[in-house]
Amino acid sequence: MFAPFKDYLETELFKNFDLQKRPIPEGLESNVSERGKNKASIQSWCYQSPQLRKIRYTYIDAGETAQVFNSVIYPSHNYDIPFLGIDFLSFGKKKILVVLDFQPLFQDSAYQEKYIEPVKAVHDKYSELAQNLEMKFYDANQYFSKYLLFAKTDPDTVINKLFPAYKEYIQLYWETLAKAEPIEDQQKIERIITAQKDYDQYSAERDPAHGLFSSYFGTEWADRFLYEFLFEDASPLAVASQK
């Protein structure tokens, strides 16, 4: 379902950046589940470039039951541009949920003006993918922008609307990065480091995918995948202490 989205991102990354493989901890790069009737596989890729310190994407293929493409691009700590966040999910072909956003590091108005307002034009072109759905797991005012695409949709719309929207968001993201001035002030860099780390902590604690990973691959693997790969700058202590 989302294979063309993964291929597009991959081609774009290799075309535009000097990529180096970024290691994925042992055992987390891929997994296959034979639990239940349906075979489920998960595979992840991770790269870095001088401007992008972590580029990760994951594909879950459980045939008809589930297809997921998830990605986060983390800029290097001397850039304050948003994360590019991608979460496309299809369950049984009937329930399709797509989320695509320039995820802001900060919510102040100067930041919004500089990095989020430029997304408005693309966002407004694809208004049927901006459905203002209520968030149950996350707080829409933290790490999400007002120009996110967030929709419950169908396979036709995925091909005909989401794919062009996705290409435009990615192109705009590359342009934003190309225009961004590297930050030299150490205090400002510290503030970015903290904000990126807080994003990992926030995301790890709320990630609605934990149940999905656990059901396919077990809780232990799911915990490791979240805290050692997806959101490796989050501290798992809070979770461990609940056990």
Residue 31 binds ligand BLA (CB under 6 A): no
Choosing from 1, 28, 55, 72, the residue that interacts with ligand BLA (CB under 6 A) is 72
Report whether 71 contacts 58 (CB < 8 A).
yes
Give Cβ neighbours of residue 11 (< 8 Å, ≥ 6 apart). none
Residues 6 or more apart in contact with residue 210 via CB below 8 angstroms: 222, 223, 226
Shortest distance in whole angstroms from residue 137 CB to ligand BLA: 3
Choose which of 40, 68, 130, 234 interacts with ligand BLA (CB under 6 A): 68
- How many residues bind ligand BLA (CB under 6 A)? The answer is 23
* Dihedral Cα 64, 216, 162, 133, nearest 10 deg: 110
Instruction: Select 93 or 188, whichever has its Cβ closest to ligand BLA.
Output: 93
Residue 207 neighbours by CB distance under 10 Å: 21
Determine if residue 202 is left, alpha or beta; phi over 0 gives left, psi from -120 to 50 gives alpha, anything else beta. alpha
Told to check if 104 binds ligand BLA by CB under 6 A, we report no
Residues 110-169 that bind ligand BLA (CB under 6 A): 135-138, 150
The residue ranges that bind ligand BLA (CB under 6 A) are: 58, 60, 68, 70, 72, 85-87, 89, 97, 99-101, 135-138, 150, 207-209, 212, 230
